[in-house]
Amino acid sequence: MSLTQELPIYKATYDLLLAIFNFTKEFTKEYKYTVGEQLKLETMKLLTLIYRANARRDKLEIIRTAQEQIEIIRLYIRVMKDMKQISLKKFVGVNQKVENVSKQLTGWKNSFI
């Protein structure tokens, strides 16, 4: 059984990553190779953090770092909406994915406190 089948937060984060790859394609050249690339990298870092947290016994610190990471991603997405690189409809859709991951991270963290 793969990690994506075992851990809902991993699947939710992977879905977020795919959504980000899809909508950054539409950024103008000025943003595609700067903020767009950074947004993809930050989301891949989040996916890596979730993998690491799941693989370790002492998960709490990594989960807290992942919570910081999702907020960075949320910030980049908001800036891109404000810079008119993301339509309101796409912003709402991707924000739902971000919120889903954020809530799961909070639940995961709370299960260890």
**Predicted pLDDT at 13:** 97
Looking at this protein, which amino acid is placed at residue 66?
A
- Do the Cβ atoms of 20 and 63 come closer than 8 Å? no
> Quick one: average pLDDT of 40-56?
96
**Predicted pLDDT at 107:** 97
Who's near 37: CB < 8 A, 6+ residues apart? 24
Beta strands in the chain, from DSSP E residues, in sequence order: none
Domain assignments of the chain as residue spans, ordered by start: 3-110
**Predicted pLDDT at 113:** 82
Task: Tell me what the pLDDT averaged over the chain comes to.
Answer: 94
Confidence of residue 4 (pLDDT cuts 50, 70, 90): low
| Total count of residues recorded for the chain | 113
CATH number of 3-110: 1.20.1440.60
Q: What is the pLDDT of residues 55-77, one digit of tens each?
A: 999 999 999 999 999 999 999 99
